[in-house]
Amino acid sequence: MELDTKLVHAGYEITAASGDVVPPLHLATTFEQRAQDDLRYFYGRGENPTREALERCLAALENAAHALVFSSGQAAGATALSLLRPGQRVVASDDVYGGTFSLFKTLTKYDIRVDYVDLTDLAAVTEAMADDVAMVWLETPTNPLLKVADIGALAELARRYEALLLVDNTFASPVLQQPLAHGADITLYSTTKFIAGHSDVIGGALVYNDDSLHGEFFGYRTAAGNIPGPLDCFLTHRGLKTLSLRVERQTRTAQHIVELLRGSPKVGAVHYPGLEEHPQRHVVERQMSGPGSIVTFEYLGDVQAMMNRCVLFACAVSLGSVRSLVECPALMTHRPIPEQDRLRLGITNNIVRLSLGIEDPHDLAKDLTDAL
Ligand SMILES: *Cc1c(COP(=O)(O)O)cnc(C)c1O
């Protein structure tokens, strides 16, 4: 089955009992055990059929053995980090998502160190690796500057040190990039973004092949209770069906907007994986099936005033929605990162990030032109 068919069909089969053409919303918190021929459902914190339909679909999209969903992307991240033991170390992208940076800070009290490295620089990563590294935490494309790291090369390096490679694939979505196919051990998603796609449900997921990892993650989630509710799973699964259509349209719009930005005297650097001169162009071509719909640029003026002039673009954090969004990372998403670190990474107060929605591209272009 091809990806677009899996988006609609995987994870759920119509049954003779009711004939529902979509996975039913199971709200029950507990399940009558004598009523089951083959005892599978006990208590909703552990097992829920609506949740499992979404998980089977997410696993199928990456041809993975397992997927688990969580109450947020951060809950998925915290569950992945529950694998670590005191004294171990994590090597992470130096421009990780702000929330991930906050999550890493909580590891200090467990004597787990996180070293931040530019993961697009293989020599720097090689230097950071040693036997105490248990996990490499990669985000690609990076946020907000859209640098691209080579998943295959990092997977090989991680394997040499018996470290797990986790790829936060939130920006690309499984439609544009499949980390497990390039050798990653775990794919993480904030399903809040492209996967659910409508800015109306928060969630996260881990996707992986290893059975022993599944035991650990399932055990942790059941114990911690960081599960999404059935309605959240239902909405996420409904959104997921149109992922490919949305990404296709959003990417076309992004390409149009990139041209507009490059022609504007009010715009400095434009960052986009689809550009000919993107620094990791060859990796983009090998690893991604498209450049996506996040565009970052330098605005040569008062960013706050420009964002306030936008009408169709809502000034808000988050991304991957049907609705177009604009944000200033230094003031919003990347605020938890100390200022000197932000500046070293190139995240100045003039950097603006756009997430293109599915509105008419000409309307979006006009809105942005007026605001610029
Ligand atoms: C939003 C986001 C997260 C966190 O996800 P939530 O669903 O908000 O908890 C993690 N990583 C990236 C790259 C994100 O964009």
Q: What is the CATH number of the domain that holds 93?
A: 3.40.640.10
145 with 260, same domain: the answer is no
Predicted confidence (pLDDT) per residue in 21-41, tens digit: 999 999 999 999 999 998 999
Q: How far is the CA of 217 from the centre of ligand 1 (A)?
A: 19
Residue nearest to atom 15 of ligand 1 (CA): 170
147 with 8, same domain: the answer is yes
Domain boundary, last residue among 240, 258, 293: 240
201 with 252, same domain: the answer is no
168 with 247, same domain: the answer is no
Q: How far is the CA of 258 from the centre of ligand 1 (A)?
A: 24
142 with 180, same domain: the answer is yes
Average pLDDT over residues 313-340: 93
CB–CB of 107/137 below 8 Å? Answer: no
- By most ligand atoms within 8 Å of CB, the mutation choice from 74, 169, 187, 227 for ligand 1 is 74
With both helix axes pointing from N to C terminus, report the angle between 243-262 and 361-371 in degrees, rounded to the nearest 10: 40
156 with 285, same domain: the answer is no
Q: What domain range is 99 assigned to?
A: 3-240
CB–CB of 94/117 below 8 Å? Answer: yes
66 with 80, same domain: the answer is yes
| Contact residues of ligand 1, CB 6 A cut-off | 72-74, 97, 99-100, 139, 143, 168, 170-171, 190, 192-193, 202, 204
200 with 303, same domain: the answer is no
Domain count, the chain: 2
Say which DSSP state 68 is in: E
Predicted confidence (pLDDT) per residue in 55-81, tens digit: 999 999 999 999 999 999 999 999 999
pTM, to two decimals: 0.97
66 with 157, same domain: the answer is yes
Q: How far is the CA of 40 from the centre of ligand 1 (A)?
A: 31
Look at 90-99, 257-266, 282-291, 352-361 and tell me which has the smallest mean pLDDT. 90-99
Helix (H) or strand (E) holding 237: helix 230-240
275 with 295, same domain: the answer is yes
Q: How far is the CA of 8 from the centre of ligand 1 (A)?
A: 24
> Closest ligand 1 atom to the C-alpha of 191?
7
22 with 120, same domain: the answer is yes
Q: Does residue 333 register a pLDDT over 90?
A: no
279 with 259, same domain: the answer is yes
Mean pLDDT across the chain? 96
pLDDT confidence bin for 338, thresholds 50/70/90: confident
Query: What integer pLDDT is reported at residue 356 of this predicted model?
Result: 98
Domain boundary, last residue among 240, 275, 305: 240
Q: Does residue 349 register a pLDDT over 90?
A: yes
Q: Does residue 255 register a pLDDT over 90?
A: yes
pLDDT confidence bin for 293, thresholds 50/70/90: very high
Indicate which residues carry an active-site annotation.
45, 97, 168, 193
- Kindly report the CATH number assigned to the domain that includes residue 277: 3.90.1150.10
Q: Does residue 198 register a pLDDT over 90?
A: yes
Domain boundary, last residue among 224, 240, 256: 240
SS3 state of residue 270: strand
Average pLDDT over residues 68-97: 96
Percent of the chain clearing pLDDT 70 (strictly above): 100
pLDDT confidence bin for 240, thresholds 50/70/90: very high
Give dist(CA 219, CA 35) in Å, integer. Answer: 25
- By most ligand atoms within 8 Å of CB, the mutation choice from 69, 140, 190 for ligand 1 is 190
